[in-house]
């Protein structure tokens, strides 16, 4: 039979610190401390397996009951007392303790073993009647609530009544006789509510308490906590039965909690609080104000000194900050718990680096102590923690881009710009954002949308800009016309204050104080690195990560400003420049629209003309005359469109060239991957409904007076209608655009090579990588590549003028992954577009799935949003197939990823395992990716 009960006491324990799965965190800590010879009250732990069995059967097996009885007998003999015996009772605590700490989620019972007889035994042994009676009334109260299910208020009501009659302000003001009355009243409450007397049998009490703790594993708040923290439901909790020590035996006793270092700042200071003459729950309950732990040195110097020695030892032993609980009974110190302390991102960085400097950790061990995601907290403004804790959360959306934003509500991008110009801080609230909201997004403190998922426009662009964003907040109702925002029962007008927490998705309907990120201030050149110890430690830690990792880290950046930040954060290369984002700038959009309006006829005209010209070269006499006539006809029919189309492209060329030159300069010779145009063209045009309203309004105001504008708007409307697609994400986009409108690819390739030449001539090395999107068939890549190579030869000449470039493709269509061998023969590199690969692999619309993905997660269909964390079992297979087939056809093929998953730690572990060469993510995630890549390599080393 497998052991289910583990004893600790007398300097030796059955378990140890590595048995958290079996003993839970608390049980493993108690065992380890016992083995280390520390003063731990003895007891035993009933395993998590017993809990799981209990959940299935509703009871424990006779074998486990017998094992428990044996452990209790051993405890009684070690302590020289019997549980609940009238003369000299052994009293125990019964506490939960799961593998991962779930603070306050499950139940605890103290002083178990007290009854009408043993309370008198306790009184005579301790010569303290008040203490004995107070312990008994606490036990009835806790047991009554946790085991018998009686509402806490029923007891509080009686306690208050006695206090009132005695004119006592606090519980401690009640004397023994008054506590006797409380006990009588409490027992009456039990009788009334359960129909039976308060259980007097100590073993019956123990069984009841143990089973109640097991049951508390499934109580709603514990279930919710596990869901929120990704803790599996089948782990179960252990139960720790431990002999009681008393912090409430008078002024020479105390109880407290503490940390070996400050968990919010990371400072190396003994941190915590204690209460004299109190029991554990008094410290947490907030009924009395605890004292700072430093004061313990004054009131109980010997115990304080011992506590410091023990906790320092524990920190070295566990190589981590310890979060501990202790009790001092009559000047004697007992340790009740120790565990690795939870900490903020800021503290995590300070502590990891300090511990290396103190010789406690090696740099590699330090890397494993910091959650990559926690680094985010260092890169964004933060809310004042106490104001944040008190603030009421009015709504919750998806936490799309972390950081704290507070400001006045505005409803349009133009308003965001106008209010900001007047010196106001604003939060842009939209149903969803569209590319031409970019100016408003860039000035807003944060972005809040009612629809959209984690790869929606607002989410992607928000992350790229490092702008706090909450998206898909379904409970918002926006009345754009009235400039009103309805959140539940509250209504906000334009200008009203709002705050959003991009790390949690919380929306708060008031202004909260924020402070800027110190690291970001250094990166932006506003603060000297020497003046920021935090920045220095951040850099040190990431320097160690760079030494450890195998994966390269690049950034997704489209403009030089973002590229500069990405480089400063440690990105060595751009993995994705989405060229379309440049098209939305105010000075370009009109040329883009002109290009789109003329594209279809213009491109057809160009194609016809070049075909006729080719034939003309071979033709003679009568045939040549015929071809010339046809050429004239083409000029007449398409000349205007050709001129508009090529004219717009010519206008865009120098703009794009300047953009690319800026990127090359910022990235200082590291690779810059530039993707040819990707989105469906209608995205650059106004919405159909908006145009229709505009035309109708113009007509109403005077059709003849507005004739020219109306004609222009109607032309635009026709184009919008022609471009309409039922399923644009599967429509005319990606390389399909470059194939049907090759002039666009030609212009972009020319801009890339001309920029490369320009920058390299000035002495900065350049490494352009031209990337073709949405390739599902090798022929698509072959044709686009041909155009790119033709332009390269024209611009760079045969010798290449010293500019080395490559042409590769995104793998983001399932067929592309499945035929990666054929595609690899044409490609210099692959970059997985896991946003589209997830969309098409799962058949989930990136823009619409937010409506039901939340339900899927809540109901356990999916653990995580697959647009946030790669679906390793499904979409991951497409990645693995793509890598395997690609490298089989072309050994050593360079492969990266540039979907949003490139910045997600769990996905980075997957990409490391799949053998990718690099990940590319938004600039603000670069530090996270560097650390996650190092952790992946340390956990699962793989060769270069």
Report the candidate in 675, 665, 658 with the shortest Cα–Cα distance to residue 766: 665
Interacting partner of 576 out of Mg ion, ligand PEP, none (Cβ under 5 to 8 A depending on kind): ligand PEP
Q: Distance (Å, rounded) from C-alpha 524 to C-alpha 539?
A: 15
Quote the least distance from Cβ 464 to Mg ion, whole Å.
14
* CA-based radius of gyration for the chain: 35
Report the candidate in 479, 390, 366 with the shortest Cα–Cα distance to residue 431: 479
User: Please, which of residues 827-856 interact with Mg ion by CB under 5 A?
Assistant: 833, 836
State the sign of the Cα–Cα–Cα–Cα dihedral 256, 258, 260, 265. Answer: negative
Q: Which is nearer to Mg ion, 111 or 456 (CB)?
A: 456
Q: Distance (Å, rounded) from C-alpha 314 to C-alpha 318?
A: 6
Judged by CB under 5 A, the number of residues near Mg ion is 3
Quote the least distance from Cβ 455 to ligand PEP, whole Å.
6
Residue 877: φ, ψ to 5°: -65, -35
**Which of these segments, 126-134, 323-331, 532-540, 829-837, binds ligand PEP (CB under 6 A)?**
829-837
C-alpha atoms less than 13 angstroms from C-alpha of 248 in its C-beta half-sphere:
20
Q: Which residue has the tokens 């004239």?
A: 632
Q: Which of the following is catalytic: 457, 581, 638, 682? A: 457
Quote the least distance from Cβ 599 to ligand PEP, whole Å.
21
Quote the least distance from Cβ 297 to ligand PEP, whole Å.
58
Quote the least distance from Cβ 766 to ligand PEP, whole Å.
23
Q: Which is nearer to ligand PEP, 34 or 673 (CB)?
A: 673
> Is residue 844 at the binding interface for ligand PEP, with CB under 6 A as the rule?
no
x/- string (CB under 6 A) for ligand PEP, residues 153-172?
--------------------
> Is residue 812 at the binding interface for ligand PEP, with CB under 6 A as the rule?
yes
What length does the chain have? 944
Quote the least distance from Cβ 833 to Mg ion, whole Å.
4
Q: Which is nearer to ligand PEP, 296 or 576 (CB)?
A: 576
Quote the least distance from Cβ 910 to ligand PEP, whole Å.
15
> Is residue 597 at the binding interface for ligand PEP, with CB under 6 A as the rule?
no
CB atoms within 10 A of CB 458: 28
Q: Which is nearer to ligand PEP, 812 or 904 (CB)?
A: 812
Helix (H, G, I), strand (E, B) or coil at 212: helix
> Is residue 812 at the binding interface for Mg ion, with CB under 5 A as the rule?
yes
Q: Which is nearer to ligand PEP, 322 or 451 (CB)?
A: 451
Q: Which is nearer to ligand PEP, 68 or 556 (CB)?
A: 556
Q: Which is nearer to ligand PEP, 429 or 460 (CB)?
A: 460
Interacting partner of 464 out of ligand PEP, Mg ion, none (Cβ under 5 to 8 A depending on kind): none
> Is residue 836 at the binding interface for ligand PEP, with CB under 6 A as the rule?
yes
> Is residue 833 at the binding interface for ligand PEP, with CB under 6 A as the rule?
yes
Q: Which is nearer to Mg ion, 639 or 728 (CB)?
A: 728
> Is residue 344 at the binding interface for ligand PEP, with CB under 6 A as the rule?
no
240 beta partners: 45, 95
- Long-range own/partner contacts, residues 688-697 (CB < 8 A, 24 or more apart): 688/717, 688/720, 688/721, 688/724, 691/716, 691/717, 691/720, 692/717
**How far does CA 143 lie from the centroid of its chain?**
39
Task: Kindly tell me which residue out of 578, 588, 887, 890 binds ligand PEP, with binding defined by CB under 6 A.
Answer: 578
Q: Distance (Å, rounded) from C-alpha 302 to C-alpha 332?
A: 9
Listed in sequence order, the residues at least 6 apart from 655 whose beta carbon sits closer than 8 Å to its beta carbon are 582, 585, 587, 588
> Is residue 900 at the binding interface for Mg ion, with CB under 5 A as the rule?
no
Q: Which is nearer to ligand PEP, 79 or 868 (CB)?
A: 868
Q: Distance (Å, rounded) from C-alpha 97 to C-alpha 239?
A: 6
**Which of these segments, 92-100, 145-153, 737-745, 830-838, binds ligand PEP (CB under 6 A)?**
830-838
- Which pair of tokens denotes residue 207? 């069984």
Task: Kindly tell me which residue out of 415, 506, 678, 780 binds ligand PEP, with binding defined by CB under 6 A.
Answer: 678
Q: Which residue has the tokens 């497998």?
A: 2
Q: Distance (Å, rounded) from C-alpha 486 to C-alpha 506?
A: 15
DSSP conformation class of 679: S
Interacting partner of 899 out of ligand PEP, Mg ion, none (Cβ under 5 to 8 A depending on kind): ligand PEP
Quote the least distance from Cβ 735 to Mg ion, whole Å.
11
Interacting partner of 834 out of Mg ion, ligand PEP, none (Cβ under 5 to 8 A depending on kind): ligand PEP
x/- string (CB under 5 A) for Mg ion, residues 50-79?
------------------------------
The string of DSSP codes covering 667-729 is: HTTSEEEEEPP-S-GGGGS--HHHHHHHHHHHHHHHTTTTHHHHHHHHHHHHHHHHH--SSGG
Quote the least distance from Cβ 730 to Mg ion, whole Å.
12
Q: Which is nearer to ligand PEP, 213 or 557 (CB)?
A: 557
Q: Which of the following is catalytic: 51, 735, 898, 921? A: 898
Quote the least distance from Cβ 313 to ligand PEP, whole Å.
50
* Alpha carbon distances (Å) from 584 to 125, 438, 579, 751: 82, 8, 10, 17
Listed in sequence order, the residues at least 6 apart from 164 whose beta carbon sits closer than 8 Å to its beta carbon are none
Strand pairing class (829-832; 89-90): unpaired
Task: Kindly tell me which residue out of 428, 576, 641, 823 binds ligand PEP, with binding defined by CB under 6 A.
Answer: 576
Report the candidate in 645, 652, 672 with the shortest Cα–Cα distance to residue 660: 672
898 part of the active site: yes
Helix (H, G, I), strand (E, B) or coil at 894: strand
Report the candidate in 405, 401, 343, 379 with the shortest Cα–Cα distance to residue 518: 379
> Is residue 898 at the binding interface for ligand PEP, with CB under 6 A as the rule?
yes
Listed in sequence order, the residues at least 6 apart from 849 whose beta carbon sits closer than 8 Å to its beta carbon are 453, 867
* Residues of this chain that bind ligand PEP (CB under 6 A): 576, 578, 678, 812, 833-836, 898-899
Active site residues: 457, 898
* Residues of this chain that bind Mg ion (CB under 5 A): 812, 833, 836
């Amino acid at each position: 039979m497998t052991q289910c009960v583990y004893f600790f006491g007398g300097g030796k324990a059955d378990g140890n610190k590595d048995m958290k799965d079996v003993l839970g965190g608390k049980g493993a800590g108690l065992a380890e401390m016992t083995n280390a010879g520390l003063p731990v009250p003895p007891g035993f732990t009933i395993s998590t397996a017993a809990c799981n069995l209990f959940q299935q059967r509703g009871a424990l097996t006779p074998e486990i009951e017998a094992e428990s009885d044996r452990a209790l007998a051993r405890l009684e003999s070690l302590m020289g007392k019997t549980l609940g015996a009238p003369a000299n009772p052994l009293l125990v605590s019964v506490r939960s303790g799961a593998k991962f700490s779930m603070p306050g989620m499950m139940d605890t019972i103290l002083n178990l073993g007290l009854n009408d007889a043993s309370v008198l035994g306790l009184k005579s042994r301790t010569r303290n009647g008040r203490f004995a009676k107070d312990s008994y009334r606490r036990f009835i109260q806790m047991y009554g609530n946790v085991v018998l299910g009686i509402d806490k208020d029923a007891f509080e009501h009686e306690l208050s009544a006695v206090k009132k009659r005695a004119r006592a302000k606090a519980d401690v003001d009640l004397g023994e006789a008054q506590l006797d009355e409380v006990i009588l009243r409490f027992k009456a409450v039990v009788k009334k509510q359960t129909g039976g007397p308060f259980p007097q049998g100590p073993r019956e009490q123990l069984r009841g308490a143990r089973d109640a703790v097991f049951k508390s594993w499934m109580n709603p708040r514990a279930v919710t906590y596990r869901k929120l923290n990704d803790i599996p439901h089948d782990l179960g909790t252990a139960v720790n039965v431990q002999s009681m020590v008393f912090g409430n035996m008078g002024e020479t006793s105390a109880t407290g909690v503490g940390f070996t270092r400050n968990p919010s700042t990371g400072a190396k200071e003994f941190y915590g609080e204690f209460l004299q003459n109190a029991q554990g729950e008094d410290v947490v309950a907030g009924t009395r104000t605890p004292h700072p732990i430093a004061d313990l040195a004054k009131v109980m110097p010997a115990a304080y000194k011992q506590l410091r020695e023990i906790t320092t030892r524990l920190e070295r032993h566990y190589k981590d900050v310890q979060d501990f609980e202790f009790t001092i009974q009559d000047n004697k110190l007992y340790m009740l718990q120790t565990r690795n302390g939870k900490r903020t991102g800021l503290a995590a960085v300070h502590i990891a680096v300090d511990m290396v400097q103190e010789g406690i950790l090696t740099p590699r061990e330090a890397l494993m102590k910091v959650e990559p995601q926690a680094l985010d907290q260092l890169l964004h403004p933060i809310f004042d923690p106490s104001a944040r804790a008190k603030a009421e959360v009015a709504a919750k959306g998806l936490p799309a881009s972390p950081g704290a934003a507070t400001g006045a509500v505005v409803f349009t991008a133009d308003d965001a710009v106008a209010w900001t110009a007047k010196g106001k801080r604003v939060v842009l609230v939209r149903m969803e954002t569209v590319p031409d909201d970019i100016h408003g997004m860039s000035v807003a403190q944060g972005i809040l949308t009612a629809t959209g998922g984690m790869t929606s426009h607002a989410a992607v662009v928000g992350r790229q800009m490092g702008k706090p964003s909450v998206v898909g907040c379904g409970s918002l109702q926006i009345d754009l016309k009235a400039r009103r925002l309805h959140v539940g029962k509250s209504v906000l007008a334009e200008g009203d204050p709002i705050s959003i927490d991009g790390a949690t998705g919380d929306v708060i309907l008031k202004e909260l104080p924020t402070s800027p990120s110190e690291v970001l201030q250094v990166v932006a050149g506003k603060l000297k690195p020497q003046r920021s110890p935090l920045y220095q430690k951040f850099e040190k830690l990431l320097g160690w990560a760079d030494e450890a990792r195998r994966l390269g880290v690049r950034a997704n950046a489209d403009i030089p400003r973002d590229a500069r930040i990405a480089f400063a954060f440690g990105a060595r290369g751009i993995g994705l420049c989405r060229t379309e984002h440049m098209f939305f700038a105010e000075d370009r959009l009109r040329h883009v629209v002109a290009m789109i309006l003329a594209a279809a006829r213009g491109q057809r005209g160009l194609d016809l003309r070049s075909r006729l010209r080719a034939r003309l070269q071979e033709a003679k006499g009568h045939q040549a005359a015929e071809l010339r006539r046809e050429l004239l006809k083409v000029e007449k029919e398409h000349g205007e469109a050709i001129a508009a189309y090529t004219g717009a492209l010519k206008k865009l060329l120098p703009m794009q060239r300047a953009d690319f030159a800026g990127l090359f300069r910022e990235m200082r010779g590291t690779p810059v991957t530039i993707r040819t145009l990707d989105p469906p063209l209608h995205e650059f045009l106004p919405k159909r409904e908006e145009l229709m309203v505009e035309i109708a309004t113009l007509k109403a105001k005077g059709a003849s007076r507005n004739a020219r504008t109306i004609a222009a708007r109607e032309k635009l409307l026709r184009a919008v209608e022609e471009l309409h697609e039922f399923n644009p994400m599967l429509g005319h986009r990606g390389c399909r655009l470059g194939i049907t409108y090759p002039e666009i690819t030609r212009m972009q390739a020319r801009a890339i090579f001309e920029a490369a030449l320009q920058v390299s001539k000035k002495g900065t090395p350049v490494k352009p990588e031209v990337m073709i999107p949405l390739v599902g068939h090798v022929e698509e890549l072959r044709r686009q590549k041909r155009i790119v190579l033709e332009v390269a030869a024209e611009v760079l000449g045969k010798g290449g003028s010293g500019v080395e470039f490559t042409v590769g493709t995104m793998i983001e269509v399932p067929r592309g992954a499945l035929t990666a061998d054929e595609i690899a023969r044409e490609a210099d590199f692959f970059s997985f577009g896991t946003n589209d690969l997830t969309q098409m692999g799962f058949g989930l619309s990136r823009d619409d799935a937010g409506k039901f993905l939340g339900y899927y997660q809540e109901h356990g269909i999916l653990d995580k949003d697959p647009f946030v964390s790669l679906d390793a079992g499904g979409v991951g297979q497409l990645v693995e197939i793509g890598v395997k087939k690609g490298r089989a056809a072309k050994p050593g093929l360079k492969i990266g990823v540039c979907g949003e998953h490139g910045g997600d730690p769990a996905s980075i572990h997957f990409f490391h395992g799949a053998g990718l060469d690099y990940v590319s993510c938004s600039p603000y995630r670069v530090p996270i990716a560097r650390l996650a890549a190092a952790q992946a390599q340390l956990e699962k080393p793989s060769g270069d």
